Amino acid sequence: MVDSTGTLTYDVFVNDPPPQRNGRLPNGEPKRFSPTASTLIYGNRDAVLTDPGLTATQARVLGDWVAGKGRHLTDVFITHGHGDHWFAAGPLADRFGARIVATAGTIAQMRGNLAARPMLWDKLFQDIPPAAVTAVTVPGNRFAVEGHDLVMVEVGNTDTTDTSVLHVPDLGLVVAGDVIYNGCHMYTGQAVAVDGGFGPWREAIDKVEALDPRHIIAGHQDKRLDDDAKRTIEETRQYLDDAEGLLQSEKTAVDYFNAKIERYPDHVGRLVLWVSASGIYGARERPGEDARKIVAASWL
Ligand SMILES: [Zn+2]
């Protein structure tokens, strides 16, 4: 997946999900997190990296891949606050002497995810490095690599609050974080149980489409697939439409889980499908309780 115009190029690294020890899915499969993609955008000398992942091991492996490109890493961009996209940013930034950048909305969400780390992330994964929120904003949400614009575009709520994408006009590229998925089950738990539905997410997809990209790098993806913008946008919309239909027709979380797998047999990321289902049906079955807590507990 390499495209180039003049001297600007990008390449994508999809990590292996970390080991996890909290039981199995309803169909007996071991729980395993979704693969997460990092994009390197680079010219002749400099490079910018996105969403460097979660664990110390992932940071080391990704760092070796970045080092192999032989460029000077200036910035690490974070698309949204979820820890799986940035808890490994510190070691990466230290290794290369890079700055960490994000929107103000993402930085606020990073603080929230860090506060939730002991109750949530550290219960799932052993290997998360010490993390602190050191990300800074940039004027007008714009920065650059060797004179090529990199634009942070705020798209609002999608699978979490205040998400953004990175637009690289000279490459016809959008690095989409969790706004667009590619061959991977989508994290729908918060959107349905907490935010009241997919309306904001659909608007965010429209905003990505309005950037008229040719390529979209989904934050969670099956690395065997291409990065065609039209297909990934269409499939992301279709997945939300199907979820809405199945949430009406299926009576339990397990029924919904099984129905989604039947419709998407090749999708990776079934843990996220199950977590989403148990959060949504859990909140539905206990309407008096705090939906945020039910959604968070569905990970454990
Ligand atoms: Zn994610």
What pLDDT score does 18 carry?
87
Distance 190 CA to ligand 1 centre (A): 12
Candidate from 22-31, 102-111, 175-184 with smallest mean pLDDT: 22-31
pLDDT digits (tens, 9 = 90+) for 55-106: 999 999 999 999 999 999 999 999 999 999 999 999 999 999 999 999 999 9
Half-sphere exposure (Cβ direction) of 263: Cα atoms closer than 13 Å: 18
CA–CA separation, 166 vs 78, rounded Å? Answer: 9
**CB neighbour class for 46 (10 Å; exposed up to 12, middle 13-18, buried from 19):** middle
CA of 224 to the centre of ligand 1 (A): 18
Residue 3 has pLDDT above 70, yes or no: no
Percent of the chain with pLDDT over 70: 98
Mean pLDDT of 177-193: 97
- From 10-14, 108-112, 191-195, 274-278, the region with the lowest mean pLDDT: 191-195
Distance set, CA 201 to CA 148, 161, 180 (Å): 28, 10, 10
Sequence length of the chain is: 300
The per-residue pLDDT for 122 is: 93
- pLDDT, residue 21, reads 74
Closest by CA to 102, choosing from 145, 157, 165, is: 165
Measured in Å, residue 271 CA sits from the centre of ligand 1 at: 12
**HEC assignment per residue over 173-202:** EEECCCCCCECECCCCHHHHHCCCCCHHHH
Distance 147 CA to ligand 1 centre (A): 29
Mean pLDDT calculated for residue range 281-287: 95
* pLDDT at 1 > cutoff 60: no
| pLDDT, position 245 | 97
Give distance in angstroms: CA of 82 to centre of ligand 1. 6
Which class for 130: exposed (0-12), middle (13-18), buried (19 or more C-beta within 10 A)? exposed
Average pLDDT of the residues in 16-37: 90
Note the pLDDT tens digit of each residue in 114-134: 999 999 999 999 899 999 999
Distance in Å, CA 166 to ligand 1 centroid: 15
- pLDDT confidence bin for 6, thresholds 50/70/90: low
- pLDDT class for 255, splitting at 50, 70, 90? very high
The pTM is what? 0.95
Residue 248 Cα to ligand 1 middle (Å): 25
Distance 125 CA to ligand 1 centre (A): 15
* Residue reference for tokens 């979209």: 216
Q: Tens digits of per-residue pLDDT, 206-223?
A: 999 999 999 999 999 999
Tell me, in angstroms, the distance from the centre of ligand 1 to residue 220's CA.
6
CA of 287 to the centre of ligand 1 (A): 27
- The alpha carbon of 5 and the centre of ligand 1 are apart by a number of angstroms equal to 29
- Measured in Å, residue 202 CA sits from the centre of ligand 1 at 17
Residue located via tokens 């690395």: 223
Q: H or E stretch including 89? A: helix 89-96
Q: How far is the CA of 49 from the centre of ligand 1 (A)?
A: 16
Q: What is the pLDDT of residue 20?
A: 82
Determine the Cα–Cα distance for residues 256 and 56; give it in Å rounded to an integer. 34
Residues 240-254 have pLDDT tens digits of: 999 999 999 999 999
CA of 39 to the centre of ligand 1 (A): 14
Cα(167)–Cα(52) distance, rounded to whole angstroms?
17
CA of 280 to the centre of ligand 1 (A): 18
Beta bridge partners of 164: 154
Query: Where do the H-state alpha helices sit in 160-269?
Result: 189-193, 199-210, 229-249, 253-263
